[in-house]
Chain A
């Protein structure tokens, strides 16, 4: 499949633990986005990568959240000292940045549950 993939599909953890969520974007897509969708809400922007650098991390809720994209392809969202309020579906999207609409293609998401 040539779409955006995310692993794991589900993650259950205990309050206070550390988690890593992985995103494999579509090959050749230079732009990568992380969004978070809480129950009954639409996705909310977290962070945007252009290549390897985090060009906009204004959506990260606090310093427990961090994301990397070291080689400009796969990205990992890292959450330290998880809290119950972090429970949500974390979505990754990728796109080309060539002008025009630059449609964002979404992965299936990782459902994170913090007990």
Chain B
């Protein structure tokens, strides 16, 4: 019963183009959705978030879109750069209690020169 799903294990994009990473969730008891970026042998690093009451948040080259009716969010990176190559995790934060993060399985993004 995976509450947060990333159905694409990998994605390959040409440098300069747009990268779109997708995430679906099943539980409505989340107040924030977050994207983390992870390099090998390092911990996940926070990238961008969106509140459940918003539908878009933009930070430089990164934009996250939230479609609550479809329980779907996406991360857009434009233009993609070689340094963006990493594993990206979608995470949802539970509203109550510990505010723990529920993560998807991750998508490995490769930016080709």
How many A-B pairs have beta carbons closer than 8 Å: the answer is 63
The interface bits of chain A over 58-90 (1 if a CB of B lies within 8 angstroms of the residue's CB, else 0) are 010000000000000000000000000000000
User: Contact at B105–A42, with CB atoms within 8 Å?
Assistant: yes
Determine the chain A residues whose CB is within 8 A of the CB of B44 once the complex forms.
43, 91, 106
Instruction: Take A42-B89, A101-B32, A101-B49 as given contacts and tell me if A107 and B101 are in contact as well, using a CB distance cutoff of 8 Å.
Output: no
A101 → chain B closest CB, angstroms: 6
The answer to whether B100 and A40 touch across the interface, beta carbons within 8 angstroms, is no
When distances are taken between beta carbons in the complex, the residues of chain B under 8 Å from A4 are: 43
Specify which chain B residues have a CB less than 8 angstroms from the CB of A101 in the assembled complex.
Answer: 32, 34, 49, 93
Contact call A45/B99, Cβ cutoff below 8 A = no
Let me know if A55 is at the binding interface, CB within 8 A.
Answer: yes
Report the separation of the CA atoms of residues A19 and B93 in the bound assembly, to the nearest whole angstrom. Answer: 30
Q: For the complex, give the distance between the alpha carbons of A102 and B93 in Å.
A: 10
Could you say which interface size class chain B belongs to?
20 to 34
SS of A interface (majority): loop
Q: Are B97 and A56 in contact (CB under 8 A)?
A: yes
User: How far, in angstroms, from A33 to B101 measured CA to CA in the complex?
Assistant: 10
Residues of B within 8 A of A (CB): 4, 6, 9, 32, 34, 36, 41-46, 49, 89, 91, 93, 97-106
Residue contacts A-B, CB under 8 angstroms, 29 given: A4-B43, A31-B99, A33-B100, A40-B9, A40-B105, A42-B91, A42-B103, A45-B98, A45-B100, A45-B101, A48-B97, A48-B98, A56-B97, A56-B98, A91-B43, A93-B43, A101-B49, A102-B99, A103-B34, A104-B46, A104-B101, A106-B36, A106-B43, A106-B44, A106-B45, A107-B43, A108-B41, A108-B42, A109-B43
